[in-house]
Amino acid sequence: MTKRQLADSIRIKKTSNGINTFTPFPHYEVDNGATVKYYTFNGLRVAMRKGSTLYYLHADHLGSTALTTTGSGAGVSQTYCAYGKTRSGTTCASGNSLATDRQFTGQKVDVTGLHYYNARYYDDHIGQFVSPDTIVPDGINLFDWNRYMYVRGRPLNANDPSGHYSNEEIMQHFGCDSWSCVESNFNEGGALEGSWGWLNVLQDAQDGDMVTSTLLASLDGHSGSINSSLSGRIQRNAAGRIGVNLDTYVGTDYQRHLVEGMVDSDAFAQFARQGAVGLYSSEHGPVYAHSSQAACYTTNQCATQTLDAVSTVAAGVAVACVGTGAIPCALAASRVSTGASALGAVISAGNAAINEGTTSDAVVSVTTAAMGAVSPPYVAFPISVYQWYRDNKPH
């Protein structure tokens, strides 16, 4: 099987056993000469027209296609095992009895048996992705450091589209060569000043996702008493710029109005900034307030915060050990605290060198690490607490 990608994100052509499948848009493809169209409602895939036949798609709680029906009511059902194989009685095996190849969690399954999750492929035989995630979503969660792991080992109640925009793709959108450059767009004076919730959405989203920008205005001093929202499907173009193909506008009359046209995602995000309160959301992520800033956005940021936590906890243990007279315990805990703090300082210095962090952050981190290393536990502990607080506060 061969494939061709556009902008390293969207698969636009697949060739398998001499059969070509073209997918120029997320919900439109030409499979061996036959046109296949998908229809959505409120972000959910609800129907498919294959040639002249219309199929209705019924999904389970994970978004997996569990049943297809035609206009006559004839239907074919399919259930799945925990990690995506097709269930047949009490056994799990590869196979598909549905009219669509969008199966487990609504993703395509290729003839190779691999599930196409946009940014990477998933293997249901091993229950893992075949390539690593480009980010560590939560540096505090140990499961996230296994970048091949699927939904933190919870396949029965969670899904993972995993086609989210990588930090590199987000940097390309903003024309940046460093993450600090991206954040400058959201800092004071930036084009999207304070719109941190939209940056969270960009990290959650993948091509074709329905995204929403909502403004909550005030009426008679009551914040949020009037609201309007824009919705559309997010998409990267060949130049790496992220836009939104508008779909729906809900005005202050609470009526849905169909709209058309592609707008730049920055302009789309600006819509929510016009209200007293702004909200952003994507179909694969939570709702974010306009100013919701994540504790960390990159692997290195999350790593330094994790090391800060280790250093602080270990320093606290050292203080407790000293208080009980357990000197060997205090020495061991102090060494762990010092080591974690030193490694965090090295990462902070590296962040500054690649413009992912500031020089002041690196200087403070190195200074607190050095001071903590030569200070008694009751002094090293508050130093570690300060470093942890500084790395966790808004950037």
pLDDT recorded at residue 394: 56
pLDDT recorded at residue 26: 65
pLDDT recorded at residue 62: 82
pLDDT recorded at residue 235: 84
pLDDT recorded at residue 287: 85
Q: Which helix (H) or strand (E) holds 174?
A: helix 167-174
By the 10 Å C-beta count (0-12 exposed, 13-18 middle, 19+ buried), 29 is classed as buried
Structure tokens at 271: 């819509």
pLDDT recorded at residue 43: 57
Beta-carbon contacts of residue 15 (< 8 Å; ≥ 6 apart)? 1, 2, 3, 21
In the beta sheet, which residues pair with residue 226? 217
Which residue is associated with the tokens 């499961």? 143
Which residue is associated with the tokens 């196979």? 95
CA–CA gap between residue 353 and residue 356 (Å, rounded)? 8
With beta carbons less than 8 A apart as the criterion, state whether 313 and 294 touch. no
Q: Which helix (H) or strand (E) holds 392?
A: helix 377-392
pLDDT recorded at residue 162: 47
Per-residue tens of pLDDT for the chain, all 395 residues: 544 444 344 577 788 777 888 877 667 888 888 899 988 765 578 899 998 899 999 988 888 999 999 988 889 999 999 999 999 888 998 888 899 989 998 888 888 889 988 778 899 999 999 988 766 655 666 777 888 888 878 888 766 654 577 777 888 899 887 788 898 899 989 999 999 999 999 988 877 788 999 988 755 554 444 678 889 988 888 778 899 989 888 877 677 888 888 899 999 999 988 877 889 988 767 888 888 887 777 777 788 888 888 999 999 999 999 999 899 999 999 999 999 899 988 888 877 776 666 787 788 888 888 888 888 888 989 988 888 887 776 55
pLDDT recorded at residue 268: 93
pLDDT recorded at residue 42: 53
pLDDT recorded at residue 218: 59
CA–CA gap between residue 258 and residue 246 (Å, rounded)? 8
Q: How many Cα atoms within 13 Å fall on the side-chain side of residue 250? A: 14
**Span between the terminal Cα atoms of the chain, in Å:** 45
Structure tokens at 289: 């307030």
With beta carbons less than 8 A apart as the criterion, state whether 201 and 211 touch. yes
CA–CA gap between residue 117 and residue 208 (Å, rounded)? 12
pLDDT recorded at residue 347: 85
Q: Which helix (H) or strand (E) holds 384?
A: helix 377-392
Domain borders along the chain are 2-131, 193-289, 299-392
Q: How many Cα atoms within 13 Å fall on the side-chain side of residue 320? A: 7
